[in-house]
Amino acid sequence: MKDTLLSVRIPSDLADAIDHRAAERGVGRSVMVREAVAAYLTSRPAPAPVIAMPLEAFLAALTTAPRLSADEAASYEEDLRVARAELPPLRDPWT
């Protein structure tokens, strides 16, 4: 497959991190970026297609959607807070 030149702008601290990891591994910056992009693209499922809905249909569906009571909403909020706290820490994409 033929390579394509791709220019991107990234914050200098991210470029420094790339350079640091590249030096540790004895590879070039391009290798690090190619590997990181490939890992990112292969580790995530493709997003679901967006289905367009006319505004009128959306508003009609919204008016018939079930509503949470105050207690149910508070319980749901707590469940989300607990679940978020149990998520593993983000991993460093450069390791």
Give 10-residue mean pLDDT values along the chain (95 residues): 88 93 94 92 82 90 89 95 90 79
Q: Structural domain boundaries of the chain?
A: 12-86
> According to the model, what pLDDT value does residue 19 have?
94
CB atoms within 10 A of CB 28: 13
CB atoms within 10 A of CB 32: 21
How far is Cα 16 from Cα 63, in angstroms, rounded to an integer? Answer: 51
Residues 6+ apart with CB under 8 A from 61: 53
pTM for the whole structure:
0.47
